Amino acid sequence: QVQLQESGPGLVKPSQTLSLTCTVSGASITANNYYWSWIRQPPGKGLECMGAIRGSGSTYYSPSLKSRTSISRDTSKNQFTLQLTSVTPEDPAVYYCARMAYYRGGSLGSLEYWGKGTLVPVSS
């Protein structure tokens, strides 16, 4: 079965870069018919799709975050990563990596698998 595991620091300070890695097992991130995505949920708010990278390598970003968001991958390790620069006290959230069957304006309707999530506080 497909499994995803987030990893990264437990705390990020304002103005620094948040970096997370998703390790995938049971499927190849180079398969061209899936979108490997990053999703977050701030406290008391709903899920927000931040962006995705397709198996072809094409990337997609939320318009509200694309100026400081970068999604990349390491195919040799079957991993994909998230970098969110210039973090603010409004960025703390639980961050998930996930697989989607399609990407349509950040819709979450095609979620297939996702990790357990990792809580990333931002120190003020």
3-state secondary structure of 66: helix
pLDDT at 5: 97
**Mean pLDDT, the chain cut into blocks of 10 residues (124 residues total):** 92 94 97 93 95 96 96 98 95 95 89 94 84
pLDDT at 32: 82
pLDDT at 22: 98
